[in-house]
A = this chain, B = another copy of it.
Amino acid sequence: MHLMTLSRFRATAPALPFSGPAMAPSLRLPVNGASGDAKDAVVILEKTPFQEESISDLLKKHTRLKLQMSNDIYSTYHLYPPPQLSEIKTTVVYPATEKHLQKYLRQEVYLIRETGEDYKNITLPFIQSQSFSIQWVYNILEKTAEADRIIHENPDSSNGFVLIPDFKWNQKQLDDLYLIAICHRRGIKSLRDLTAEHLPLLRNILQEGKEAILKRFGVAGSQLRIYLHYQPSYFHLHVHFTALSYDAPGCSVERAHLLSDVIDNLELDPQYYQKRTLTFALRADEALLKKFQEAGKA
């Protein structure tokens, strides 16, 4: 996606930290309300991916094509598509409050280096103070929801798991294949809780997850990126399976931990993830960042 958020007063503001490669200079845009008063609006513009079915239209003669460079068999052009083939997804928040502007216009991100002690003193108490509901996870594990979406299950209550397509994946193409393995065992909040005791569970997820994806989708294990997030977005242990050629959100080095590496680390040292300093990014508006700042650690 190419995103651009507009703001009248922040023409030189730095980019939004959304997880795409697009640049997003910010410009606040004056929008006139019914009263004629200029009020702030947030306008988000996104260039959408090409639609395969519209490509032949895009290349038809009535599309303007301007030669830029030609060298041997290579040439480059500027192609100016007709409006109906270059739709821009536009989202408007109007009138926008200061809070909206904050939310959309800039979100600084900060890298945290969390020691084992920081986890115990800052992160763990914070997680415990929040009552994150993970009922939706239990619903999946208990088959009271999404039972028909399950791709594979190992029913063992201690070392078993459920493999299910992630909601971000529509299952229509393999390009952005994305599945999640959710362990049956409760109480493993994240990477930080893992010890050598969990090796059988982790090995099951790695091995059976790959086999199930090969069988159902024809994608080999060597073409999968299999990893955990730290911090995770919910505190019940789960593992991400994405197509290696897909630049999935959250697969960058400051958030993703390859399951194979996690297994190696636990084999090397059963307490690896209790001791190790882990790095992750927090947005300026995240409550956990404030906790680290209060502790003088960010």
Residue ranges of A at the interface with B (Cβ–Cβ < 8 Å): 1-2, 4, 6, 11, 14-25, 27, 29, 43, 45, 47-50, 52, 55, 58-59, 63-65, 73-84, 86-96, 108-113, 173-176, 221-225, 227, 243-249, 251-258, 260-261, 264, 276-277, 279, 281, 298
Contact = CB atoms under 8 A, between A and B. Distances in A.
A78 B87 contact: yes
A254 B247 contact: no
A83 B47 CA distance: 14
Nearest to A69: B91
A16 B245 contact: yes
A23 to B, nearest CB: 5
B23 A175 contact: yes
Contacts of A75: 91-92, 94
Given A83-B83, A110-B222, A264-B277, A173 B90 contact: no
Contacts of A23: 49-50, 173, 175-176
Given A94-B73, A94-B75, A2 B50 contact: yes
A167 to B, nearest CB: 17
B256 A252 contact: yes
A49 B1 CA distance: 9
Contacts of A18: 245
Contacts of A281: 244
A55 B14 CA distance: 17
A244 to B, nearest CB: 5
Given A4-B55, A247-B19, A256-B253, A80 B87 contact: yes
